[in-house]
């Protein structure tokens, strides 16, 4: 699944033909990098790939003032079909990325189990700061977001709160964890 493909195809379907710079501007205006996995800098490359695949096509070249010429793209019928498929796929499939922290945690060095509390508290502190920043930023950009985008952005806050809750649970059971891990490492 490719969020950036969905974003570009949907933008062209909803707003009509645009050049890459306009798509980048739209993505920045909508702050998509704050509530999706899209990197605004990846728009140009994705536009080239979509054009090469025939999902979008150049409909004209535009030049305003001293700015360079820009290819203006429109979505094709093939692109509309892809857009529908991507929407269906992304609305129905569950995507959950595993956090590498989990693997590192389960492979803790027995000689450093005494440092585990500091590691967990430091991670908790970083996540708490990120949550605070997220809440402030969400309030700052509220006026630029639709109701659905605003509530979608809240999804990130809920995920961060869940992570804090999980870390609190680990810290609550830290003595048991250290005891269990020490026993496992001592058993041949």
Can you name the residues that pair with 56 across neighbouring β-strands? Answer: 75
Q: What is the pLDDT of residue 31?
A: 83
Number of Cα atoms under 13 Å in the Cβ half of residue 16: 1
Q: What is the pLDDT of residue 63?
A: 84
Strands (E), 41-101: 56-62, 70-75
pTM for the predicted model, two decimal places: 0.73
Give tens-digit pLDDT for 157-173. 999 999 999 999 999 99
Cβ-Cβ contacts under 8 Å for 149 (sequence gap 6 or more) = 30, 35
Q: What is the pLDDT of residue 96?
A: 81
């Amino acid at each position: 699944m490719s969020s950036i493909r969905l974003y570009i195809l949907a933008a062209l379907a909803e707003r009509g033909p645009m050049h890459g710079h306009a798509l980048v501007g739209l993505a920045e205006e909508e702050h998509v990098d704050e509530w999706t996995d899209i990197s605004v800098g990846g728009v140009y490359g994705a536009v080239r790939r979509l054009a090469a695949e025939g999902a979008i096509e150049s409909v004209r070249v535009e030049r305003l003032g001293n700015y360079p010429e820009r290819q203006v793209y429109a979505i094709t019928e093939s692109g509309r079909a892809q857009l529908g498929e991507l929407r269906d796929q992304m609305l129905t499939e569950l995507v959950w990325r595993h956090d590498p922290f989990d693997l590192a945690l389960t492979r803790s060095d027995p000689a450093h189990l005494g440092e585990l509390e500091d590691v967990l508290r430091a991670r908790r502190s970083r996540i708490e700061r990120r949550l605070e920043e997220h809440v402030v930023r969400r309030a700052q950009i509220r006026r630029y977001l639709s109701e659905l985008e605003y509530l979608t952005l809240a999804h990130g806050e809920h995920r961060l709160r869940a992570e804090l809750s999980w870390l609190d649970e680990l810290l609550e059971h830290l003595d048991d964890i250290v005891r269990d891990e020490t026993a496992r490492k001592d058993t041949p």
